[in-house]
Structures are given as C-alpha cells and as structure tokens.
Amino acid sequence: MFQAICLQQDEGGFSAGLTTLDEARLPPDGVLVQVAYSTLNYKDALAICNAGPVVRLWPMVPGVDCAGTVLASDHDDFVPGDPIIFNGWGAGETRWGALAQRARLPAEGMVKLPAAYTPHDAMALGTAGYTAMLCVQALTRHGVPPGSGPVLVTGATGGVGSIATLLLAQRGYEVAVLTGKPQAADYLRGLGALQVLDRAEFAQAGKPLQKMRWAGAVDTVGSHTLANVCAQLRYGGVVAACGLAQGMELPATVAPFILRGVTLAGIDSVYAPRALREGAWAALAAELPASKLGQVVTEIGLSEAIAAAGEIMAGRHTGRYVVDVN
Ligand code: NDP
C-alpha cells in the first residue's frame, strides 16, 4: 500500500484527495519506482484543480515528474537500485503519475540521475528545469549564442521562466524578463535578470512588426505575449515557445517570419526522445549547481500539494514546489 494524490470524476463530480492505494492497481507495464520527491508543474496544477483537459483516465494519480529509485524494471536500461529522474511521457495524463510514494512509469521518459544532483535537486528542476534547458539549447541551435544581444524570458517568476533566467544569465546572455509581479523584481534580478518589464505591455494585441528589441526569447505564456515577442524580435531572431499560461491562441501575422526571418522554435518536453532528455539533464548538471536552486524552491509534503496547486492556478506562487512524498 502507498500514499498518493488521487483525482476522481464521477456522478458526484470532481474531487481531489490524499489516499492510500494498493500497488496492484499500478499500470502493469513500465519501471516500478520508489518515489523520493515529486514536484508541481503548471500542468499538475491544471489537473489537480480540474482547470484544463489534462486528465484522460479516471481515477488518476497526477504528477508528471519524480526522482527516486528503481524497484523493478521491464527495460534493459534500468535495473533495481538505479537512481532515476522521470519526466512526462503521459504520466498524470493518460497513465498514473508520480505524486505518490510508488509509481510504475514508462522507461522512455526516464533518465539516470546525474551524479551532481540529489533526487531533491532533480525535482527542484523537474519538467520546468528540463524544459528551460531545452529552450536554451534551442536558442543556441538556431543561432543565438551568448553575446547576440538582449534575450527576453516571459512568465519569469514561474518554474520554467525562473530557471530559464538563471541558465541564460549563467551562460552570459543579457537577460530581460517579463512579469506580472513587480514585487518579485529583486528575486528576478537575483536570478540574473538585468531588466524587469511589466507583462501588461505585452498582454494586448500589438502591431505585426514593432521596434526590433530581442535577439532571442523564451516564451512560457503564448497568446498576445508571444505574438508581440515575435513582432519585436530582431532580424534573424529566435523564440523558443513552450507554454500557454496566458492562452493557447497565437494571434500573430506571418510578417516577422517572412520580413525579418525570425524562427519560432516549438519545445515539447513530454515526448522528447531519450537523446534530447539526456542532453538537457547532462547540461543542467554541468551548468547549474544545486547550490543555485535554493532561491527557487519551496518544499512541501504530499498532503500540501492540493493547496499548493491552487496557489499556482491563482498565480500567487514564485519559483518551484518540491514535494516530499514520504
Ligand atoms: P508556472 O505556473 O510556474 O509559471 C507560469 C508563469 O506565467 C506565472 O508564474 C506568471 O509569471 C505567468 N503567467 C501566469 N498567468 C499569466 C497570464 N494570464 N498572462 C501572462 N503571464 C501569465 O508554470 P510553469 O513554469 O511550470 O509552466 C509555464 C508554461 O509552460 C505553462 O503553460 C506550462 O503548461 C508550459 N510547459 C510546457 C512544457 C512543454 O513541454 N512544452 C513543459 C513545462 C511547462 P509572472 O507573474 O512572472 O508573469
């Protein structure tokens, strides 16, 4: 038996609670993990608050991320005793996830825990950190190395935004950030932001082509903000787009693409192939020492995860929640 957050949808409506489950109810296939830490991402908050169409199977154990130890495995790459990180691959959406003390998870979404990190460090990063690195790597891959000019991070106080800001500043980029929390300016400057801008400036429809400001950008919010970022990219600029915190729509024109040669690089962490995952986690371990993560993290217990998800949905949190499931 193990403890887990469980989401139910039945005649009585939706409910979320902490419950005890039998290991026999875990999915039959995959790698059985003794979870040490999980975390809360925006997607987990959507699922726990029933605020978006994340859950495809009821009842559901939410949780797209965990770090822990392999107990049993159906895959040659992982053996009992291996310390691992798991991100995405449908967990918490189409199969039971990792806001639990035990989980059976697909090997495709798993990597070995880098020696530089503890399971707690890995969940301080979680999908947010791994996605932030995928975004930063996309900027480099598409031709925006450090020294190219100012780069903008949107949704900056969030998990992806905070870690993208840290990573870009560490790599030597000139980082500007967009936030709706002016009171978090010191936090953002502490992560390495040189300029803190009000997200309201970007939240409404703007002209298709605007003054060229940014060599690159990491966008976590979508909608008008992403459209305005595209319209403000310099000639040949690149935006790595990974999120939809403002909205799913993209009310933009093709003008920045066909007149300024800008690149919109889409980032998906959920079904990213193993090579990309391992590359992102190896780069995180090499570039971001655990000592830098403390400023970003709030640790909570499993019983506090539902309330914390509400804080994320209300836009009141800063940085990352790490969930000690034990
Ligand atoms: P968080 O909730 O931690 O951060 C989102 C941030 O967006 C908030 O902190 C806030 O920052 C900003 N924000 C919130 N609401 C709005 C709004 N209405 N308009 C503009 N900005 C807003 O989420 P994560 O960092 O975990 O995820 C960010 C996004 O990236 C989410 O949409 C998530 O689904 C997506 N994502 C996608 C992944 C992928 O694989 N493509 C992987 C991981 C996340 P501030 O107050 O500073 O403006």
Q: Taking phi first (over 0 means left), then psi (-120 to 50 degrees means alpha), and beta for anything else, what does residue 63 get?
A: left
**Span 27-36, average pLDDT:** 97
| Ligand 1 pocket list (CB less than 6 A) | 41-43, 127-128, 131, 155-161, 179-181, 199, 220-221, 225, 242-246, 267-270, 312, 315
Nearest to 68 by CA among 44, 104, 93, 95: 104
CA of 52 to the centre of ligand 1 (A): 14
CA of 245 to the centre of ligand 1 (A): 4
Atom of ligand 1 nearest to the CA of 162: 25
Q: Do both 153 and 64 map to the same domain?
A: no
Nearest to 193 by CA among 156, 232, 248, 149: 156
User: What's the N-to-C CA distance of the chain in angstroms?
Assistant: 13
Backbone phi, psi, residue 159, to 5° = -60, -55
Q: Do both 55 and 87 map to the same domain?
A: yes
The domain boundary residue, chosen from 225, 251, 266: 266
pLDDT 10s digits, 91-132: 999 999 999 999 999 999 999 999 999 999 999 999 999 999
pLDDT 10s digits, 123-174: 999 999 999 999 999 999 999 999 999 999 999 999 999 999 999 999 999 9
Residue that has been written with the tokens 């919109």 in this structure: 264
Q: What residue's CA is closest to ligand 1, atom 36? A: 243
Residue 108 lies in a domain: yes
**pLDDT for 80 beyond 90:** yes
Residue 238 lies in a domain: yes
Q: Do both 131 and 262 map to the same domain?
A: yes
Q: Do both 98 and 170 map to the same domain?
A: no
**pLDDT for 319 beyond 90:** no
Q: Do both 156 and 206 map to the same domain?
A: yes
Q: What residue's CA is closest to ligand 1, atom 2? A: 42
**Ligand 1, residues 41, 136, 219: which to mutate, most atoms within 8 A of Cβ?**
41
Q: What residue's CA is closest to ligand 1, atom 7? A: 155
Query: What confidence tier does 293 reach under pLDDT thresholds 50, 70, 90?
Result: confident
Residue 7 lies in a domain: yes
pLDDT of residue 114: 97
Residue 145 lies in a domain: yes
Atom of ligand 1 nearest to the CA of 159: 25
Q: Do both 248 and 180 map to the same domain?
A: yes
Label each residue of the chain as H, E or C.
Answer: CEEEEEEEEECCEEEEEEEEECHHHCCCCCEEEEEEEEEECHHHHHHHCCCCCCCCCCCECCCCEEEEEEEECCCCCCCCCCEEEEECCCECCCECCCCECEEEECHHHEEECCCCCCHHHHHHHHHHHHHHHHHHHHHHHCCCCCCCCEEEECCCCCHHHHHHHHHHHHHCCEEEEEECCHHHHHHHHHHCCCEEEEHHHHCCCCCCCCCCCEEEEEECCEHHHHHHHHHHEEEEEEEEECCCCCECCCCCCCHHHHHHCCEEEECCCCCCCHHHHHHHHHHHHHHCCHHHCHHHEEEEEHHHHHHHHHHHHCCCCCCEEEEECC
Neighbours of 207 (CB within 10 A): 11
pLDDT of residue 296: 81
100 neighbors 35 (Cβ within 8 angstroms): yes
96 neighbors 27 (Cβ within 8 angstroms): yes
Q: What is the mean pLDDT of the chain?
A: 96
Give 310's strand partners.
none
C-alpha dihedral sign at 106, 111, 115, 118: negative
Q: Do both 220 and 297 map to the same domain?
A: no
User: How far apart are alpha carbons 114 and 32 in whole angstroms?
Assistant: 19
pLDDT of residue 315: 85
Query: What confidence tier does 316 reach under pLDDT thresholds 50, 70, 90?
Result: confident
Query: What confidence tier does 295 reach under pLDDT thresholds 50, 70, 90?
Result: confident
Q: Do both 218 and 194 map to the same domain?
A: yes
Q: What is the pTM of this model?
A: 0.95
**Cis ω before 182 (30° cut-off from 0):** no
The domain boundary residue, chosen from 225, 247, 266: 266
Residue 272 lies in a domain: no
Atom of ligand 1 nearest to the CA of 184: 47
The CATH number covering residue 241 comes to 3.40.50.720
Residue 285 lies in a domain: no
Q: Do both 173 and 47 map to the same domain?
A: no
pLDDT 10s digits, 218-241: 999 999 999 999 999 999 999 999
Neighbours of 68 (CB within 10 A): 28
CA of 92 to the centre of ligand 1 (A): 18
47 neighbors 121 (Cβ within 8 angstroms): no
User: How far apart are alpha carbons 309 and 323 in whole angstroms?
Assistant: 11
Query: What confidence tier does 242 reach under pLDDT thresholds 50, 70, 90?
Result: very high
Q: Show the domain range for 159.
A: 127-266
The CATH number covering residue 39 comes to 3.90.180.10
Q: What residue's CA is closest to ligand 1, atom 14? A: 245
Residue that has been written with the tokens 């495809």 in this structure: 56
Residue 286 lies in a domain: no
Q: Do both 73 and 163 map to the same domain?
A: no
Domains held by the chain: number? 2
pLDDT of residue 294: 82
pLDDT 10s digits, 41-71: 999 999 999 998 999 999 999 999 999 999 9
Residue 287 lies in a domain: no
Give 69's strand partners.
34, 83
Q: Do both 138 and 234 map to the same domain?
A: yes
Q: Do both 177 and 261 map to the same domain?
A: yes
